[in-house]
Structure 1
Amino acid sequence: MHLPPARGFSTFRVIYCSEVTAITYHNISQAGTYNRTVIVDPSTGICGHERVDYPSTGPLAPLFGEVSMHLRGPMTISQLAVYQLPAEVHTLRKRNTVPFYNSRRALKPQETTKMTHSTIPDWLSFFNKRTYNTTASCTPTTVTSTVTVTTDCSTASITEPVQNTTYVGPPLPCLPTPASTPSANSSSHSPNCTCENLPPIAESSDGQPFIIATPAPVLDASLVSKRDDAADWSRVAYYTSTAPAQATGISFLANLGDPQKSGTFDYAFGNSLSYVTPNGDTVASESLPFNGKIDTSEHEIIVFSDKECDADCPYWRPNATSHYGWSGSSKAFFIEFQMDHHNNTNTDQGLISDAPAYWFLNADIPRILQYGSDRNDIPCSCWSTGCGEFDAFEVLGTGEERAKSTLHRQGNLEGGDSNYFVRPIGQTMKFAVVWRYPDITVMVLDDGYVFGENLTDSQVQSLVAYDANSWVHSLFAIGN
């Protein structure tokens, strides 16, 4: 099924090989480039972007920075748990917790600074003072990339990348860049673009220009090499649907924004993120307990941490309900879920009703615009230029009982293993998605597996260990 390509729906040719219980995506970390959104203007329907050149590690690398968790029905969720290494959760632990049953938003609304430049609307917020100029007349060079798709089920489970294919996504233009020396956390200007400097995009009362963005939360790239592999992985978020539903460190949202309740709506970009009622299909004015059931594929729930965005959060759509995701090269997501069939009752106007999925996005995507484009046919979100999506357990056709996994990262190495998981019908399945540098492993867990408060690293290593002689654990090489 294809709504706007994925953001939850895969675009690769579907080939099913063998049933497995685990898939490891090996060596997922390579340097690359994407466009990060730094302006969303609902009055014109146009977005502005900043080019990000990222290394193979650190918070700018796709899916090593913050991710959001996405659930599409029909699905019943019994438990969710999120684990991180202590060294990589410091950015969240420094922040105040927003209660799960909060009566009002715990943070003040975003501050608004009035712009003096006539073309910049006065609703843009959280401006970070830097010397930035706009750029134009760019001629980007070709970016080489590799797209990998398993096409022969008789081949070995390790799939070699096809070399030297050409990037087929939209061009990456020169975009606002610092006139001063950039910091270690700022994105760099492309040396391959020839750009003509234009006047500053905006000025404050003291004449200083602004960049319409805030830096990503700092996550030292050296954590990858310096982490304590003997440290326990801490459970930083947990949800159970057992009555009464309980959640710690977690919030449930959806693309249902209503300025009268939570989030926002405009005719340029549609509904933003908002809180939802317990059944997940109606906007709510506050964070409410989720009842654990999503009836149909027309409905999606987006799971974030319970920490609302503040001045340290990357840019998000103005007036949207925005929360922090989960960052780091070592993080694990455990779920207990069931995906029973949903019979189409002709109320979905021809859309797919029975294609459930469980996936992850770079958290900037839902915080800005998960579906849709601006009026220049340049996607507003960073998805199309490769900021990252990982489909962990995705049913691709209505009524299908096989689920695939795929890494999307346009302009960089990407692909999907053609082995599949069996959809859990009539009973729950426990399932884990583990980032452990440099791999992502997805696996079915034993029915008796307990989502405890801590995991030792040895337990994590045991979970993700690959046995070359195994018939049920597939290894898919994204990079060499």
Structure 2
Amino acid sequence: MLFLTSVFTSIAALLVQRAQADCQLVGGNYYCSETTAVAYENIGYSGSYSDVTNMDESSCKCSQESVSFSGSMSPLDEELSVHFRGPIKLSQFAVYYPASGSSSTKKAKRDEGESCETVQHVHHMHKRAAAVTYVETTATVYADGSNAEAASTNAATSSTKAAPSSSSSSSSSSSSSSAAAGDWVRTSYYKPGSATNVTFLNTLGGTAGSGTWSTCFGNSLSYCASDGSSAAGSAEILDDVTLESNTEFMVMSSSECGDSSASGDCGYYRSDIPAFHGFGGADKIFFFEFQMPSDSSASGTNPDMPAIWLLNAKIPRTLQYGDSSCSCWSTGCGELDLFEILSQGSDKLISHLHDGQGNNGNAQGGGGSQDYFARPVDDTMSAVAVFSGSTIMIAQLDNSTTLGSTISESTVSSWLSQSASDATIA
């Protein structure tokens, strides 16, 4: 038995060495093969995280209580906010939900020997662990995607890709009623200057007439101005802008949250903020068209390190950056990095899941792939993140792909069944 154990240990060590030999170590992160798709399988488990129930401005302390969850895609079936960090230019964004149930199809495995799954990348600090700078001031979609259009006041117009069928905000409702069983219906859409069921936010609360600031918790959520980098007093639509390094904004639906108590429809959130629902439900599709140009002269915390990621929407509604007890992040309520540059000037985009799966109650659970997407420096990249059943498929699309107000079941099935790099879960 000892001999066999020794043999197995030696084999495992050789496999790791081989994996490392086939990959490139840069800045503490292994990069293996370029890919056009990354698949997370068997996502969802039974667990818990610590949910914020109060933020006390007198004591500067936050209260938490344990929240349990279970099921396919948990906890990523909870409402998610969509985050962007520069340098980035967002050309389009859309969210789709099943019209009436959509079957998932298992994706094809990569050829044996292609994956470097045994190698773990070192995740750089940028979301919870980044240094916090407070700016002092002197002064939906629900779980099933329903009611998304009813809350919208801004109608999308035509486009060369993901083009909406009408400039009316009611068009999605009619599309839903006429969509075939198994199709997916768009509930949110953005292109520069126009949006439907999309609210742009950032974390500059208290500086321009929205949100708040305090010595305890710093800046809250605020409306994001059309320039993408400053705050606004009311909702604005992002213009055709290129976001600089170290600048972030996020997207939520246009469905406002109810009261801010822990029992409210959004759970507890910080007082006096623009509070909106995120994008919930186990089955959903996020569509992106974006460019990540180089920014070689950048400095600061995350210079020339663009990213697109998803957070449990409770996190920014309480405190995205700062005291970990004022957020559910460190206890594993959920983050999925879709496309992230891990070191300054890199041209390799990595995906990684941070939640308690494989290590309940700890954001160091989850996992990812060391295979990478090529960063779209000089041209735009179109991509989808498909959440279906217990599978998440992040896939690059051909730039000639055109998506309308509905996506057919066959198209989604083809995305889910394509060959992809496997993401290893801890």
On whether the aligned pair clears a TM of 0.5, the verdict is yes
> CA–CA distance in 2 between the matches of 1:260 and 1:69?
22
The question of whether the paired residues in 2 share the 8 Å contact of 1:158 and 1:477 is answered with no
- Residue number among 349, 352, 371 corresponding to 1:406 in the alignment: 352
Residue equivalent to 1:367: 317
- 2:402 and 2:341 map into 1 onto residues whose CA distance is 26
Residue 234 of structure 1 corresponds to which residue in structure 2? 185
Query: d(CA) in 1 for partners of 2:222 and 2:286?
Result: 23
2:288 to 324, 335, 343: 335
Alignment of 1:248-267 (within 5 A): 248-258=196-206, 261-267=209-215
Match of 1:308 in 2: 256
Q: 1:292 to 1:409 in 2, by over 3 A?
A: farther
What's the offset of the Cα at 1:310?
A: 1.4
Separation (CA, whole Å) in 1 of partners of 2:180 and 2:353: 26
Deviation at 1:84, TM superposition (A): 1.0
Q: d(CA) in 2 for partners of 1:16 and 1:158? A: 9
1:293 counterpart SS class: coil
Give the counterpart of 1:157 among 115, 118, 123.
Answer: 115
C-alpha deviation, 1:458, in angstroms: 2.1
Residue 230 of structure 1 and its aligned partner are, at CA, apart by 3.8
For residues 41-440 of structure 1, what are the structure 2 equivalents within 5 Å?
41-57=56-72, 61-86=74-99, 155=113, 157=115, 159=117, 230-241=181-192, 245-258=193-206, 261-311=209-259, 312-344=265-297, 348=299, 350-373=300-323, 379-410=325-356, 411-412=359-360, 413-440=365-392
* 2:81 matches 1:38: no
Long gaps (5+) in structure 1: 1-11, 89-152, 163-216, 220-227, 468-472
**CA positional deviation for 1:363:** 0.5
CA contact (8 A) 1:36 1:49 kept: yes
Q: Check whether the contact 2:92–2:191 (CA below 8 A) recurs between aligned residues.
A: yes
Paired with 2:343 and 2:231, the residues of 1 have a C-alpha distance of: 28
* Matched-pair contact (CA < 8 Å) for 2:117–2:370: no
Structure 1 distance, partners of 2:371, 2:408, is 29
Separation of aligned partners in 1, 2:403 and 2:112: 36
Determine if contact 1:72/1:294 at 8 Å carries over to the other structure. Answer: no
**Secondary structure at 2:288 match in 1:** strand
Match of 2:395 in 1: 443
Q: Please give the alpha-carbon distance, in whole angstroms, between the structure 2 residues aligned to 1:430 and 1:79.
A: 9
Q: 1:93 aligns to what?
A: none
Conservation of the 8 A alpha-carbon contact between 1:81 and 1:237: yes
Secondary structure, aligned partner of 1:231: coil
Displacement after TM superposition at 1:157 (Å): 3.1
Cα 1:452–1:367 shift into 2, 3 Å = same
Helix, strand or coil at the partner of 1:84: strand
1:30 deviation in Å? 1.2
Return the alpha-carbon distance in structure 2 between the equivalents of residues 387 and 457 of structure 1: 30
Task: Quote the offset at 1:159 in angstroms.
Answer: 4.2
Letter of the 1:443 partner, please give it: A
User: 1:321-367: CA deviations, max 9, x gaps?
Assistant: 1110011111011111000011326xx5x433200000000010011
Percent same amino acid among aligned pairs? 38
Give the structure with the higher percent helix: 2
Contact map agreement 1:297 1:354 (CA 8 A) in 2: yes
Q: Which runs of 5+ in 2 are unaligned?
A: 1-26, 102-110, 121-141, 145-178, 260-264
**RMSD of aligned Cα (Å):** 2.7
Report how many residues are paired. Answer: 327
1:281 offset after TM fit, Å?
1.5
Residue in structure 2 matched with residue 205 of structure 1 by the alignment: none
What SS is found at the alignment partner of 2:285?
A: strand
Instruction: Report the counterpart of residue 43 of structure 2 in structure 1.
Output: 28
| Residue 218 (structure 1) shift | 6.9
Q: How far did residue 476 of structure 1 move? A: 2.4
